[in-house]
Structure 1
Amino acid sequence: MTKGLASTGMELAASPEWVDEILLRGADDDICLYSGGPLDRRTLRRLVAQRQARLADAGLRAGGSLALRLPPSTAYVANLLAGWRTGAQVILLDHRLTAFETELALRRLAPRVVVEPGRITSSPLSAFAEVEETVTVRDGRDAATPHAVIQLSSGSTGPSKVIGRTAADLVAEIERYTRIDGVPLPGERIVVLASMVHVLGLVGALLYGLHAGVQVRPPERLTGDGVLDAIAADPAPATVLGVPFHIGLLASVADPPPLPQLKRMTTGGEAVPAATAAAFTARYGVPLGNMWGMTEVGVIATDLSGEHRPALTPAPGLSVVERDGELLVSQPESPYVGLSDPDRWADGWLRTKDAGAVDPVTGLVTVKGRLDSQVSVGGLKVDLTEVEATLAGLPGVVAAVVLHDDVVTAYAQLDAPATAEAVRTGLAERLAAYKRPRRLHVLDAMPRTTTGKLVRDHSVLRQAARGGR
């Protein structure tokens, strides 16, 4: 455990001082971040102070609310830490959301200050953007809860849940990371491919790295060669942190060079097929670690050595149990903002909605997949009910069903003059690209049960699609 965190972290988390003491503290010349060049702690502290002054000019105060809709970037990091250093609640919105989704989220969450991209000068393939941000004041409200960060579970409309985590929650997760075998050590590097707007990249890379003295280095380009270049750019040991999609990026490199710096790759999100894991380890000769977590909790269980695949060890300080085939994780308080849902959290246990099992002897956890409508696409959570509700709300859509059938697949019944192309255009305006159905089947009539309910059986819908248009 990093010295001082356990003894002082929880007390500090009750005030903005936790940012300085747990995240920004360290030698001035310590290189903590790399974005187009090395960024030392002295420079990062200066950038945070500049953003803090700018946000104060916009009216942000302790107890206020700030929404960030920025791509991963130095601007994102500086504004995030500035908001927390002010004592404000920070709402994180994925920069890939459409204008339609963003406005719905802003109306729902009502922040007083919003920071969004102005001019982005970097390539779309850049893992870390070069962005000039804009600050807008809205007719919002101050934070209604003590949470330091607010996130949406799977999008900005329909059934998505509003999730809040206090500074103490974040500090506790950072502390869990310091006690997990195989995490990057002080003086090492994290080559981060996972978005820092979401929990894996946010806490597992950015916050843990800042606290532990581990350099956070996104590749200059999010390509296979770009990732390998980032690993090779420094002699310090490097751990690659991403989602299963990124394994494909590395596998796309036909003849990778020797990389003595590469220590391991760790992935979160959906499970990695055993064949894919074996192919990666054979190609690169390093462990492929696995992590399981949730936005509500952060990291829950890990197997960073790949020794127990697909099983994992619960993270220090957390308990995982299985009830009726579902995994539950210990959580002292409900993470949901607003009315607490007793069906999701009760008596100190959070239902993960993941099917799984816990070995009664070893305590190892095996995750067997989702129980509800959320699926993982490229490591990003997609709520199929949100996609279905959006599709059903388009002009001319009589009925719709959205399922995950290898990919997100939609079935719809249309009234003239609606067309499949018009539906695709409408979805593109309303949903981020990663949420949109990859297959759209237009049916003459949607299959229904004898009681009039829409049939959701994959085989029945596939059969119906063969006669659709």
Structure 2
Amino acid sequence: MNLVETVGEAAAAHPERPAIVYEDRELSYEAFWTRAGQFAQALVDRGLGAGTRVAVYLPNLPQFATAFHGTLRMGGVIVPMNPQYKRRELEHLLGDSGAEVVVTLPDLVQHVEPVRDDTNVEHVVSIGDDAGDVSFEGFLADDTHPVVDRDDDDVACQPYTSGTTGTPKGVLLTHENLHWDADAALDPVPGGVQPEDRHLGVLPLFHIYGMTVTMNATLFAGAAYYPVPEWNAKEVMELIEDEELTLIHAVPAMYNDMVNEPGDYDFSSVRFANSGGSALPMEVLRAFEDRFDVDLHEGYGLTETSPVTHANRVGERRAGSIGRALDGLQARVVTDDFEDVPPVEEGPVDESEVDLSEITGELVVAGPNVMKGYFERPQANEEAFTVEDGTRWFHTGDMAYHDEDGFYYLVDRKKHMIVTGGYNVYPREVEELLFEHPDVKDAAVVGIPDDRRGETVKAFVVPAPDATASPEDIKQYCLERLAAYKHPREVEFVDELPRTTTGKVQKFELND
């Protein structure tokens, strides 16, 4: 199986239909499939073969989809990278993955060039001009390369996620993982995604949610994908109305922005809307449905599961729940001893009236969308899986409970991960940077509530003797070295951090 074969089938069935619509320009399936083949041939012409890592360091643009499917077409592996990343973050991702090609914007080449000597990068392809080694259009070959055969368990994509140590880990997602999950993502949509559908592409394509649920699921079905490179609630709402978009997948912060954006907008064309990436506040769900008369369905997944594992279906929705497990996927709630936690009769429960410790456990899943493993991280792989009676269970790290009807409810995160606007932020990564500042003696990072993002990042800093930096200086220091969503929105100076006798920071005291 090579998952792009399904896109080729859609192109053969609907050659003249729009595959990608961007800034009023339509790219037909026939034209898109040809360009993907030209990108594949360009890689081969440069001596690159199956297994080659190609880093796509782009916002949501048509070229992302071309590079993605072109790379897979010749048997390569995609390494998606957040366009907000700077040199510090790129150096690890490019070095760890061994990527030999980077496709990016001219303005982002400046972050790639300084790390080339320490990585395997040989070719930098820039969109629009020759800021790198060659422009995207100049890179494309005249001929097209056929789809190469790949085994189901061959790696197709290597996105990066972080653990509690803050060290990003490559997630090995296979052709079967991604193909199965894109197919499964069609299930909650009534009747599945249809060729007549027009899908809003506001979820970042470097993120597995956008890659699988919006881009791949849409192209598999022969529908039209509308990429949006930068979030702006007003512009997106106008796009939904003007283009009569039918499908929306977004994160809670985006729905909250739409609820609070003034003006009258017609969403009558929308037949399905889904929220994922972080917990959906009930007040946002109700406000969105009241204003636009569109039901909003919540789902759940992780990078390691390609990503979707649970979803609420039309007519089978339970507010406050992440829904039922996808057909073909197994899910359990277990204790630390891997014993099953019994379900409650019906959820959601009133958390003020029950002892959550008696009904919750860790959510574990098993199925064809679960990753092959972490790239060259044997210890992390050992910790991530439990094999029982021949079934390989993945530990999500999320605490949950479930009810007798099969609905699941998230309660808390087992680890200290912060989810801000749908992005994962691991405190350790920010703390490591803070400790590099000469005016910082000690530091700890936690998530605090935020009306728009769900959570945001706060740093508690113990200043070094004779320090001169202000909290604003510390914030700016982080903003210059990390993606914007990771930097602390608040910095509080304290005399000392609460620690245990073994030296661990008691973060629950900082959250009080």
Q: Same fold (TM over 0.5)?
A: yes
Distance in 1 (alpha carbons) for counterparts of 2:33 and 2:503: 61
| Alignment check: 8 A CA contact 1:322 1:357 kept | yes
Deviation per CA, 1:110-136: give whole Å up to 9, x if none.
Answer: 21222221259xxxxxxxx97558666
Matched, 1:162 2:170: yes
| Alignment check: 8 A CA contact 2:15 2:30 kept | yes
Structure 1 residue 160: deviation in Å?
A: 2.5
Q: Secondary structure at the match of 1:430?
A: coil
Please, which of 27, 51, 54 is the counterpart of residue 39 of structure 1?
27
Matched, 1:259 2:277: no
| Alignment check: 8 A CA contact 2:7 2:220 kept | no
Q: Secondary structure at the match of 1:457?
A: helix
The one-letter code sitting in structure 1 at the alignment partner of 2:289 is T
Q: CA 1:304–1:33 in structure 2 vs 1: closer, same or farther (change >3 Å)?
A: farther
The one-letter code sitting in structure 1 at the alignment partner of 2:19 is C
Q: Secondary structure at the match of 1:262?
A: coil
Aligned to 2:143: none
The one-letter code sitting in structure 1 at the alignment partner of 2:92 is L
Matched, 1:426 2:414: no
The one-letter code sitting in structure 2 at the alignment partner of 1:230 is L
Distance in 1 (alpha carbons) for counterparts of 2:7 and 2:284: 41
- In the TM superposition, what are the counterparts of 1:57-456 in structure 2 within 5 Å? 57-118=45-106, 146-154=154-162, 158-182=166-190, 183-219=192-228, 222-235=231-244, 238-297=246-305, 298-305=307-314, 307-311=317-321, 312-324=323-335, 325-331=361-367, 334-338=372-376, 339=378, 341-347=381-387, 348-359=392-403, 361-406=404-449, 407-415=456-464, 416-417=466-467, 419-420=469-470, 421-456=472-507
Distance in 2 (alpha carbons) for counterparts of 1:154 and 1:345: 16
Structure 1 residue 27: deviation in Å?
A: 2.1
Distance in 2 (alpha carbons) for counterparts of 1:219 and 1:449: 47
| Alignment check: 8 A CA contact 1:320 1:358 kept | no
Q: Secondary structure at the match of 2:381?
A: coil
Structure 1 residue 436: deviation in Å?
A: 0.9
| Alignment check: 8 A CA contact 1:221 1:227 kept | no
Structure 1 residue 278: deviation in Å?
A: 0.8
Q: Secondary structure at the match of 1:249?
A: helix
| Alignment check: 8 A CA contact 2:93 2:168 kept | no
Instruction: Provide the TM-score with structure 1 as the length reference.
Output: 0.84
Q: CA 1:188–1:387 in structure 2 vs 1: closer, same or farther (change >3 Å)?
A: same
- Worse-superposed segment, 403-412 or 388-397: 388-397
Identity of aligned residues (%): 23
Structure 1 residue 217: deviation in Å?
A: 1.5
The one-letter code sitting in structure 2 at the alignment partner of 1:330 is A
Q: CA 1:71–1:133 in structure 2 vs 1: closer, same or farther (change >3 Å)?
A: farther
| Alignment check: 8 A CA contact 1:164 1:336 kept | yes
| Alignment check: 8 A CA contact 2:166 2:427 kept | no
Distance in 2 (alpha carbons) for counterparts of 1:130 and 1:289: 36
Q: CA 1:106–1:179 in structure 2 vs 1: closer, same or farther (change >3 Å)?
A: same
Distance in 2 (alpha carbons) for counterparts of 1:345 and 1:439: 36
The one-letter code sitting in structure 1 at the alignment partner of 2:33 is R
| Alignment check: 8 A CA contact 1:244 1:378 kept | yes
Structure 1 residue 426: deviation in Å?
A: 3.0
Distance in 2 (alpha carbons) for counterparts of 1:193 and 1:157: 30
| Alignment check: 8 A CA contact 2:474 2:491 kept | no
Q: Secondary structure at the match of 2:443?
A: strand
| Alignment check: 8 A CA contact 1:266 1:289 kept | yes
Distance in 2 (alpha carbons) for counterparts of 1:74 and 1:441: 42
Distance in 2 (alpha carbons) for counterparts of 1:53 and 1:337: 27
Q: Which blocks of at least 5 consecutive residues in structure 1 are unaligned? A: 1-11, 121-128, 138-144, 463-469
Q: CA 1:82–1:452 in structure 2 vs 1: closer, same or farther (change >3 Å)?
A: closer
Deviation per CA, 1:133-178: give whole Å up to 9, x if none.
Answer: 86669xxxxxxx9311001114999333220101111111122123
Q: CA 1:156–1:53 in structure 2 vs 1: closer, same or farther (change >3 Å)?
A: farther
Question: Number of residues paired by the alignment?
Answer: 431
| Alignment check: 8 A CA contact 1:68 1:92 kept | yes
Structure 1 residue 261: deviation in Å?
A: 0.9
Aligned to 1:466: none
Q: Secondary structure at the match of 2:308?
A: strand
The one-letter code sitting in structure 2 at the alignment partner of 1:47 is R
The one-letter code sitting in structure 2 at the alignment partner of 1:419 is A
Q: Secondary structure at the match of 1:76?
A: helix
Structure 1 residue 23: deviation in Å?
A: 6.1
The one-letter code sitting in structure 1 at the alignment partner of 2:308 is V
Aligned to 1:126: none
| Alignment check: 8 A CA contact 1:219 1:229 kept | no
Structure 1 residue 437: deviation in Å?
A: 1.1
Q: CA 1:398–1:221 in structure 2 vs 1: closer, same or farther (change >3 Å)?
A: closer
The one-letter code sitting in structure 2 at the alignment partner of 1:310 is G
The one-letter code sitting in structure 1 at the alignment partner of 2:210 is G
| Alignment check: 8 A CA contact 2:427 2:446 kept | yes
| Alignment check: 8 A CA contact 2:252 2:281 kept | no
Q: CA 1:107–1:25 in structure 2 vs 1: closer, same or farther (change >3 Å)?
A: same
| Alignment check: 8 A CA contact 1:113 1:136 kept | no
Q: CA 1:412–1:67 in structure 2 vs 1: closer, same or farther (change >3 Å)?
A: same
Q: Which blocks of at least 5 consecutive residues in structure 2 are unaligned? A: 109-125, 135-152, 336-360, 450-455
| Alignment check: 8 A CA contact 2:166 2:426 kept | no
| Alignment check: 8 A CA contact 2:105 2:127 kept | no
Q: Secondary structure at the match of 1:91?
A: strand
Distance in 1 (alpha carbons) for counterparts of 2:285 and 2:128: 35
Deviation per CA, 1:358-396: give whole Å up to 9, x if none.
Answer: 22x211111223111222110111112222222223333
| Alignment check: 8 A CA contact 1:328 1:351 kept | yes
Distance in 1 (alpha carbons) for counterparts of 2:479 and 2:239: 33
Q: Cα RMSD over matched residues?
A: 2.7
Aligned to 2:117: none
Q: Secondary structure at the match of 1:203?
A: helix
Q: Secondary structure at the match of 1:343?
A: helix
Aligned to 2:16: 29
The one-letter code sitting in structure 1 at the alignment partner of 2:178 is L
Deviation per CA, 1:208-246: give whole Å up to 9, x if none.
Answer: 1001122111358733332222222345x6111111111
Q: Secondary structure at the match of 1:217?
A: strand
Q: Secondary structure at the match of 1:342?
A: helix
| Alignment check: 8 A CA contact 2:36 2:67 kept | yes
